[in-house]
Structure 1
Amino acid sequence: MRQPSLFQRALLTLCLALAMASGAHAFELTQLSQQLSEPVVIRGNFVQEKHLRALPLPLVSRGQFVLAREHGLLWSLQQPLQQDYRISGSGIAQRTLSGWEPTDQQPAAARQNQLFLAVLGGDTEALQRDFQLDLRGTAEDWMLTLTPRSKLLQQIFSAIHIQGGATAQRIELLETQGDSTLLLLESTEVDDQLSAVEQHDFTH
């Protein structure tokens, strides 16, 4: 067998060194998880587009959200109607005239809520239990693709694509039946504490 020349050996060594260097500096899941879980509070606006096969145009809703690391998510829908929701590890509650009331949830819907919190909070360890994760990009510009492992989630989603930088900015859920949901998180701001009103909404 012909031995490689000195030039070929040098080129091979350089390629291996570059590959090792790029691998050492690659943006990894543990880094993404830490980056997304660092903010105590994230506030912003959202635009949600629900694309249904039976409709020519998407159903669009708009509102504001507050994500608190220690509490969960306040989801304030403002258009086309006004409704306030509180999503936490214990489930979903809706604001009524008498206060927050738990909503009845099917197992699949409850699982989606847990998934949503895990995505926004950067809990990649929880996500890996049910999804194969593929992360590409850098800390400033990344994309995470989730492919379902469990049969339950395979019946709901074909894939989930999440894009962002310091925080998640774009979430696309592709359903197995052909429908899809696109969620855009805009004008996000990071804070180190909740307002008095937000604190009350989370704890009462």
Structure 2
Amino acid sequence: MSILFAALFAFSPLAHAFDLQQLSEQLARPQVIHGDFIQEKHLRALPKPLTSTGTFVLAKNHGLLWQLKTPLQQDYRINAQGIARRDGTRWQMLPGKSAGAEQNRLFLAVLQGDSSGLQQDFDLQLQGTPDHWTLTLTPRSLLLKQVFNQINIEGGELVQRIELQEAQGDSTLLKMQNSVSNQPLNEAEQHDFAQ
């Protein structure tokens, strides 16, 4: 009887439930991720979303390079020190107290699998498997509730989709495409992170 029970338990979903710790470890594994993105900003006042495209480089212990290609070209670097924008050949730090700065801090935490950082500000609900999961973030603090209703993140081995549902009715959908985690930083990227 105990062998039958053990066999049933081994195949039950509860025995191998995918949890936040496993998701954090999975997302924190890659040293460098390169990819493309499409960002759609859905504003209540506009019939069509504002769409921008570009590339990104996420490097463990360095941060995120966000390189906007269309509709205009602009490079951003997001790291523990804050957000910087490329101004010609140098990086210019942006003021850090904006709602955009908070969004970027959260974005970095999501991509790097920092669930402990997210749990300070959100209730997290994870569903799925390591190959196909959805993480729902519901804000806890009054300040964040004024900005977001909910954030939905989907992925597999890496994050593939992030949807920010804003309190005012607007939303942002970010699709991460062609992501690869087998290429090291090139010389230009190393230089950008070092500045």
TM-score range, shorter chain: over 0.9
Contact conserved, 1:39 with 1:192, CA < 8 A, in 2? no
Structure 2 match to 1:62: 53
Distance 2:36 2:101 in 1: 23
TM-fit CA distance, 1:89: 1.2
Distance 1:110 1:52 in 2: 20
Contact conserved, 1:42 with 1:189, CA < 8 A, in 2? yes
CA deviations 1:21-72 (Å, max 9, x no partner) are 3212010100000000000000000000000000010000000000001100
Structure 2 match to 1:138: 129
Mind listing any 5+ residue stretches in structure 1 that lack a counterpart?
A: 1-9
Cα RMSD after superposing both structures: 1.8
Distance 1:20 1:126 in 2: 32
Contact conserved, 2:42 with 2:50, CA < 8 A, in 1? yes
- Determine whether 1:29 maps to 2:23: no
**Fraction of identical pairs, as percent:** 56
TM-fit CA distance, 1:78: 0.3
Structure 2 match to 1:164: 155
Secondary structure in 2 aligned to 1:197? helix
Distance 2:182 2:63 in 1: 15
Aligned length: 191
Structure 1 match to 2:92: 101
TM-fit CA distance, 1:97: 1.7
- TM-score in terms of structure 1 length: 0.89
CA deviations 1:149-177 (Å, max 9, x no partner) are 11111010000000000000000000010
Partner AA of 2:144 in structure 1 = L
Q: Out of 169, 177, 182, which is 1:178 matched to?
A: 169
- TM-score in terms of structure 2 length: 0.93
Distance 1:94 1:107 in 2: 15
